[in-house]
Amino acid sequence: MWFLATFVSVYTLLHLLFYRTVRCLLPAGPGARVLLGLFLLLMILTPIITVMAGYKGYTGLARLAGTVGYWWMGYLILALLCLLAMGLLRLGALPFSPQAWNWRVPVALALGVAFIIAAYAGYAATNVRLKHLTIATAKLPAGVERLTIAQTTDLHLGLPGGLSRLRKTIKLVERAKPDLWIDTGDMWDRPLLDVDQLVAMMRWVHPPLGKFMIAGNHEFYVGLGTSFELSRAAGFTVLDNRGQAAGPLYLAGANDTRSINPEWDAAAMAGSDSRLFTVFLRHRPLFNQEYAAKVDLQLSGHTHGGQMWPAHLITSRIFPFFAGLYHPAQGSLLYTSRGTGTWGPPMRLFSPPEVTLIQLVRAPAKPSR
Could you tell me if 223 and 255 are in contact, meaning their C-beta atoms sit under 8 angstroms apart?
Answer: no
Contact predicate 361/134, CB 8 Å: yes
User: Please, which residues have CB within 8 angstroms of residue 88's CB and are 6 or more apart in sequence?
Assistant: none
C-alpha–C-alpha distance, residues 134 and 291, integer Å: 22
User: What is the model's pLDDT at position 152?
Assistant: 98
Residues ≥6 apart with Cβ < 8 Å to 85: 110
From CA 162, how far away is CA 197, in angstroms rounded?
A: 10
Q: Are 76 and 18 in contact (CB under 8 A)?
A: yes
Q: Could you tell me where the DSSP H helices lie in 210-341?
A: 217-222, 224-233, 262-269, 312-318
Res. 104: pLDDT tops 90 = no
Max Cα-Cα span within the chain: 86
Q: What is the pLDDT confidence band of residue 7, given thresholds at 50, 70 and 90?
A: confident
Q: Is 279 helix (H, G, I), strand (E, B) or coil?
A: strand
The span from the CA of 170 to the CA of 348, in Å, is 20
Select the more confidently predicted residue: 324 or 366: 324
Digit-coded pLDDT (tens) for 215-230: 999 999 999 999 999 9
Please, are residues 137 and 160 in contact by the beta-carbon 8 Å criterion? no
Residues in the chain: 369
> 300: which strand partners?
336
The predicted structure's pLDDT at residue 369: 46
| Beta carbons within 10 angstroms of residue 134's beta carbon | 10
Closest-CA residue to 265 (of 282, 244, 248): 282
Q: How far apart are the first and last CA of the chain?
A: 58
Instruction: Give pLDDT, residue 39.
Output: 96
Q: At what angle do helices 224-233 and 195-203 cross, to 10 degrees?
A: 40
**Range with the poorest average pLDDT among 9-23, 85-99, 346-360:** 85-99
* Predicted confidence (pLDDT) at residue 368 exceeds the cutoff of 70: no
Higher pLDDT, 105 or 192: 192
> Which CATH number is 129-362's, of 1.10.3720.10, 3.60.21.10, 3.20.20.150, 3.40.50.2300?
3.60.21.10
pLDDT at residue 98 tops 60: no
Answer whether residue 99 shows pLDDT above 70. Answer: no
Angstrom distances, CA of residue 25 to CA of 21, 104, 186: 9, 6, 41
> 42-53, pLDDT tens digit by residue?
999 999 999 999
Q: DSSP of 41-105, one letter per residue?
A: HHHHHHHHHHHHHHHHT-HHHHHHHHHHHHHHHHHHHHHHHHHHHHHHHHHHHGGG-SS---THH
pLDDT bucket at 94, cuts 50 / 70 / 90: low
Q: What is the pLDDT of residue 292?
A: 93
pLDDT in tens, 155-178: 999 999 999 999 999 999 999 999
Q: Which of 172, 197, 185, 74 is nearest to 125 (CA)?
A: 74
- 37 CB-near residues (< 8 Å, 6+ apart): 19
Q: Where are the domains of the chain?
A: 2-125, 129-362
Structure confidence at residue 24 (pLDDT): 87
Return the DSSP state at 188: B
Backbone angles phi, psi at 291, to 5 degrees: -110, 20
For residue 234, give the 3-state DSSP assignment: coil
pLDDT tens-digit profile of 230-273? 999 999 999 999 999 999 999 999 999 999 999 999 999 999 99
φ/ψ region of 80 (left if φ > 0, alpha if ψ in -120 to 50, else beta) reads alpha
Between vectors from CA 321 to CA 313 and to CA 348, what angle results, nearest 5°?
50
- Please report the pLDDT score of residue 348 as a whole number: 97
Mean pLDDT of 92-99: 56
pLDDT one-digit tens code per residue, 311-347 = 999 999 999 999 999 999 999 999 999 999 999 999 9
Instruction: Report percent pLDDT > 90 for the chain.
Output: 85
Looking at every residue in the chain, the average pLDDT score rounds to: 93
